[in-house]
Structure 1
Amino acid sequence: MLQRSTLKFLKDLRQNNNKPWFDDNKTHYQQAKEDFESLTQQLIDGLAKMDPAMEALKVKDCVFRIYKDVRFSKDKIPYKTNMGASFAKGGKKSPYAGFYFQVEPGGNSFVAGGLWMPEAPMLKKIRQEIDYNFEEFQGIVGQKDFIRVFGKVNGDSLKTVPQGYHEDNPAIAYIKLKSLVVTAGFTDEETIQPTLVREILKKFAVMQPFINFLNHAQEE
């Protein structure tokens, strides 16, 4: 679970997103950061039981910085109003498909998983894997629990059919996707319950065959 104080810090930060306020509340930030890192370690421990490749992960490999890089952005707000962690073989900068959790007050906390805007060579492999093994893929994303928890696979879609494929391909809706991601939300109240880690890991477990399929495609 997360502490109420962590959500309060993020709510207050949303209203006071500037360096003087952040500097004055550095102690509160450190407390929130430690709270989120503790949750992250618990998720690593849980994932390691599902996938031994996760055993090597450290908290620092997974947690994203709260500081925004505003050098090339029109949005000069200096801090993120959420805390997030990515769990994949090799850490948050890994090209592999993985799991993600983000806490953000206002009912914006969620788990997610898959691949966000992979590089062209990787996306080509995934499209090919879906095309060659569509029955297997369909069985994963069409599974009852998968649909109940995540609904469907999301991602921006190409307006035209990728080269080498045809519109009548039964897998074309997935082949046209530029990202393959699933998500499930949490209310603020759910994030401060003692059952939070268990609930996140349950959703990760439902997601795992989807993640495994995407990573198998990369390793071919």
Structure 2
Amino acid sequence: MHATIPKETFTFFNNLAKNNDREWFNTHKPEYKLLESKLKEAYNYLGELMGVHDHLEKAKIFRIYRDVRFSKNKLPYKTHFSGSFSRIKPELRGGYYVHIQPNNQSFIATGFWDPNKEDLLRIRKEFEMDDSEIRAILNDKKFKSTWGNFVGDELKTAPKGFDKTHNAIDLIRKKQFIFSKSYTDKQVISNDFIEDVNTSFKAIRPFFDYMSDVLTTNLNGESML
């Protein structure tokens, strides 16, 4: 099996951005459903490739309908297509995200978007105790060339209970542990896009192995599972 992102994806979402209302969408819904099935094929193909080197739950494809209940933006439809892959818990931590959007706004992301309070404290305590292993991973040449540095939210100062002069304070301050990689429209519709995404996700593995070990053990290295 080989699947690609259809080039019609960008045309449809550009048109939807100009006509983001129910009347237009209902008229063009058959067009979207056909497109959606092809995009799901591509995401499932990616899941098969990733399944060779990781243990994943089923891909989660996000709906096109926006939840406008608590948003000032009342437009009913998303102007992108996205899906995520979760690793099998509790042993394996971390997740993958693929976002397809026209005008060179597509990207993939991986890492820890919203760690709970307990996990965040455990990660920070690990960095406080020894930051050498995480820095070796982040500074690895292959890893850095694929993913660069962390993106995401962080505190302006030290979290409560941590020394703001600690040599790992740059890591301890972080609230999210995310990596992101951007793609142009041309790259997304190329024949090797899905394979490139798979290769990029495979390169995150040393980070996931480290974080999974941290989050399933206590500070003495004893398993909490």
TM-score (norm 2): 0.88
Match of 1:79? 77
Partners in 2 of 1:26 and 1:216 — Cα distance? Answer: 45
- Out of 7, 12, 18, the position equivalent to 2:10 is 7
Indicate if the aligned counterparts of 2:58 and 2:85 stay in contact, CA closer than 8 A: no
Partners in 1 of 2:26 and 2:122 — Cα distance? Answer: 46
Indicate if the aligned counterparts of 1:17 and 1:79 stay in contact, CA closer than 8 A: yes
SS for the counterpart of 1:46 is helix
Match of 2:41? 38
Indicate if the aligned counterparts of 1:100 and 1:111 stay in contact, CA closer than 8 A: yes
Partners in 2 of 1:126 and 1:35 — Cα distance? Answer: 39
Match of 2:118? 121
Match of 2:160? 163
Residue segments in structure 2 that go unaligned for 5+ positions in a row:
218-225
Indicate if the aligned counterparts of 1:108 and 1:185 stay in contact, CA closer than 8 A: yes
The structure richer in helix per residue is 1
1:16 positional shift:
1.1
Match of 1:208? 205
Structure 1 runs of 4+ off > 6 angstroms?
Answer: none
Note if 1:181 corresponds to 2:178. Answer: yes
Equivalenced residues, count: 212
Indicate if the aligned counterparts of 1:6 and 1:31 stay in contact, CA closer than 8 A: no
Partners in 1 of 2:181 and 2:17 — Cα distance? Answer: 23
1:120 positional shift:
1.4
Q: What is the identity, as a one-letter code, of the residue corresponding to 1:172?
A: I
What are the Cα deviations for residues 35-73 of structure 1, in whole angstroms up to 9, with x where unaligned? 21111111111111111x21xx334xx211111110111
SS for the counterpart of 1:84 is strand
Partners in 2 of 1:216 and 1:86 — Cα distance? Answer: 22
SS for the counterpart of 1:2 is coil
Match of 1:88? 86
Indicate if the aligned counterparts of 1:101 and 1:112 stay in contact, CA closer than 8 A: yes
Partners in 1 of 2:38 and 2:61 — Cα distance? Answer: 12
Partners in 1 of 2:113 and 2:15 — Cα distance? Answer: 29
Partners in 1 of 2:126 and 2:216 — Cα distance? Answer: 11
SS for the counterpart of 2:180 is strand
Note if 1:147 corresponds to 2:150. Answer: no
Partners in 2 of 1:6 and 1:136 — Cα distance? Answer: 41
Q: Aligned ranges for residues 48-67 of structure 1 at < 5 Å?
A: 48-51=51-54, 53-54=55-56, 57-59=57-59, 62-67=60-65
1:117 positional shift:
2.6
Partners in 1 of 2:168 and 2:215 — Cα distance? Answer: 18
* Greater mean deviation of Cα atoms: 129-138 or 41-50: 129-138
Identity %: 30
SS for the counterpart of 2:52 is helix
Match of 2:66? 68
What are the Cα deviations for residues 135-160 of structure 1, in whole angstroms up to 9, with x where unaligned? 11111111112221222111211122
Partners in 2 of 1:142 and 1:157 — Cα distance? Answer: 20
SS for the counterpart of 1:50 is coil
Partners in 2 of 1:213 and 1:81 — Cα distance? Answer: 35
Indicate if the aligned counterparts of 1:114 and 1:214 stay in contact, CA closer than 8 A: no
SS for the counterpart of 2:194 is helix
Residue segments in structure 1 that go unaligned for 5+ positions in a row:
none
* Greater mean deviation of Cα atoms: 19-28 or 159-168: 159-168
Q: What is the identity, as a one-letter code, of the residue corresponding to 1:195?
A: D
SS for the counterpart of 2:137 is helix
Instruction: Report the RMSD for the aligned CA atoms in angstroms.
Output: 1.7
